[in-house]
Amino acid sequence: MIYKGEFITLTKVESANLPVNPDENAPDVICLSHLRWDFVYQRPQHLMSRFAKNGRVFYFEEPIFIDGETHLKISARDGNLSVCVPHINHGETQETAEIQQAMLDEIISGNEIEKYIAWFYTPMALDFASHLKPDAIVFDCMDELSAFKFAPPALIENERKLLKKADLVFTGGQSLYEAKKDKHEKVFAFPSSIDVAHFSKARTIKSEPDDQAKIQKPKLGFCGVIDERMDTILLAEMADLRPDWQFVMIGPVVKIAPEDLPRRSNIHYLGGKNYDELPAYLSGWNVALMPFAINESTRFISPTKTPEYLAAGLPVISTPIRDVVRPYGEKNLVQIAKTAEEFVAEAEKILARGNSNEWLGRVDEFLANSSWDKTFAEINALINEARSEKEQMTTAAASQNFN
């Protein structure tokens, strides 16, 4: 690949080496994401892995800056999914957008991509992908990224441009939908869904992983990214109020300095775990916690872990996050608490009574209406409709010009 007259090494997965698409009419997907595929298994992985069952998916991540030669690394995953990671020399940071555009164009031409969907998780990808001419442009707005710590200054303006270009906008929750619904004519809410079969394994698993098995009960746990959305003061206060309870924290720590994490003998940071391992960890908890801070970064979140905890059969206590209060709190599936004292009081009630069959029955009834397969099917139907409308408009315009 040539960039400004210089050769850039491109490690490329050739089309011939990829599995044959089960559906030759399925479009490819170019997914432009700020989230690493191998970081935490969440919404992008659930949706893109399902697209990859019928067509090819090229998951294009943000660059990694290195001391060596600029190159693009592409690695194959299950099905037809390829993870594409730009590796860019530190000295070329002023030309990052141009390099990523060249790499993206090489992926398209080298893999003979013709019919495809451009799927944006980050508006910042417009810096190098605004020239794409896909069958449909999707903005899957799973978070209000501008409210996150270290958000790029240009993010708000780029989102405005992306909303103008997009054919469809999906939101990761109801609150986010309400914030975006007047900014585009086709905005649809698709709250975090659930793989019930996967997480319900926690109800029957009898042995915990070694690093958790040695921790005494009762265990109150959290799994997910530990970042600025976590109310670390609340966590510390709970641990101080009940030093005989054990607080298990599972997940990578991001954007929080290690010295800023509360350190207590009854708070256990076990690090990030593989998606397949999570049910075994959840199986050993007595209560699941969602001690989110109430701030701008959590104003529009719709935590995936809410239905995951419930599918595992765990009682849940959460701070009053809007998309948890509605519907989980209102349906008395999740207990809502604001202070450490309220969290402890709710947990004491749960520990005293245990799980009730009546509560579990209501949980299962609620979750029966949710699945990533169902969410994907509904999303895919909207995309096919948008592609068809766009094709009809193009055909009509061409006919009019011809006449």
Q: Hey, which CATH number is domain 2-193+373-399, 1.10.238.10, 3.60.9.10, 3.40.50.2000, 3.30.70.100?
A: 3.40.50.2000
Q: What is the mean pLDDT of residues 157-165?
A: 95
Residue 13: is its pLDDT beyond 70? no
More confident: 298 or 402? 298
Burial class (CB in 10 A: 0-12, 13-18, 19+), 95: middle
- The fourth-level CATH superfamily of domain 196-367 is Glycogen Phosphorylase B; (3.40.50.2000)
Q: What is the pLDDT of residue 22?
A: 56
pLDDT band at 144 (very low <50, low <70, confident <90, very high): confident
pLDDT tens track for 106-134: 999 999 999 999 999 999 999 999 999 99
The helix (H) or strand (E) run that includes residue 104 is: helix 96-110
Q: What is the pLDDT of residue 146?
A: 77
Q: What is the mean pLDDT of residues 136-146?
A: 91
pLDDT tens track for 375-399: 999 999 999 999 998 888 776 665 5
Q: What is the mean pLDDT of residues 50-69?
A: 95
Average pLDDT over the chain, rounded to whole? 91
Q: What is the pLDDT of residue 391?
A: 81
Q: What is the mean pLDDT of residues 293-308?
A: 92
> In the chain, where does the domain assigned CATH 3.40.50.2000 lie?
2-193+373-399, 196-367
d(C-alpha 250, C-alpha 211), whole Å? 11
pLDDT tens track for 302-360: 999 999 999 999 999 999 999 999 999 999 999 999 999 999 999 999 999 877 889 99
Q: What is the DSSP letter of 61?
A: P
Residue 5: is its pLDDT beyond 50? no
Residue 208: is its pLDDT beyond 60? yes
Residue 12: is its pLDDT beyond 60? no
Quick one: what percent of the chain has pLDDT higher than 90? 80
Q: What is the pTM of this model?
A: 0.88
